Structure 1
Amino acid sequence: MKKLSHFVIIMVLFCLFGASIKAVENRFPNNAKFTRGVGNTCFWVSNSASKYKASIRTRAQNWMYTGYDNKIYMTEVSSNYATHMDFYAKSSDSVIKGKVLGYTAYYDGNGNRLSPLGKGPSKNYFYTEIILKTSVPTNDNKGTIAHEMGHAFGLAHTETSKARLMWHDTSRTRITPAKQENDIINYLYK
């Protein structure tokens, strides 16, 4: 009986505290996020990434309408003045090489980069640049765009489930956020 009561106490504690810890597992350690929130997220697509424009628009819809409640609303704009996300495409650079299909860079309001390329932000950020590889296969570009948008919103890679959009592998088959990823957005942008 004593073992059973200990088990019940442990399960109750896990349900109370463990679930909330799990819900925020793949955010950046410092909870870095957009300083302006996500209620009116403006994005701009450069000429270099124009071939991805339709896919970017669809992925924006996927983030707004996840099937779960969140504060995300995204609007495409015609210039990159005061945007949240700017999309570019490159054939290669210091990060885009080998199997890397894209990355997100984080900036403050003065245009200063807040972290080394390919790394998470060091603090809250004003805007992001999402760099996509120009030769991404169609099946991978959809998932890569959605994945990099997740980084822009403040999500880090997950280590626990290949079924999640923020899985760190290069195979990008998932194109919509999982409930847990949606919950992390709600946690960050309370």
Structure 2
Amino acid sequence: MKLSDGIEQALHCATLMAALPEGGLLSAKAMAEFHDVSTSYLLKHLQALSKAGLLHTEPGPRGGYRLARAPDQITLLDVVLAVEGPEPAFRCKEIRQNGPNPLPASQFKAPCQINAAMLRAERAYRTELRAVTLADLLADLAAADDGTIAARGCAFFDQHMRRPKPDPNPTT
């Protein structure tokens, strides 16, 4: 199975946003520069994450992105489905019924064994992705970090983190 480059970008950016301090935002441009990827391509995936309810988007010149839910409430499967869509990777076209001398339809009452095996693999794949949250990734990273990664992240946040302009007329 081959996933798009957008999955890797979306997962890394979501994990980066999971480490943001409360109320912090990151622009798409800053995240694209951090990972040395195309801003326009990344924007497409950030929009998909926003549409799926995984990211909050703050418009305007001081705007940006942040997680819409706590990192322990966003799984790798959530991100993959937001970017790639909910369809299974394998889609059976029933080609066993094609050809110059196909068998009668009565021979194809049971599901295709290949399709059944592929769907079992898809369920296992999704189960594994559903078991890992962004918080789990941050914990694994922190456990393996000698401080270098944390320092890089802090320096990046110091330079690029935005805070939305306070609402002058809050409704309370």
Q: TM-score scaled to structure 2, two decimals?
A: 0.28
Larger relative contact order (Cα-Cα within 8 Å, sequence gap ≥ 6): 2
The structure that is strand-richer by fraction is 1
Name whichever structure is richer in helix by fraction.
2
**Greater radius of gyration (CA):** 2
Q: TM-score, normalised by structure 1?
A: 0.26
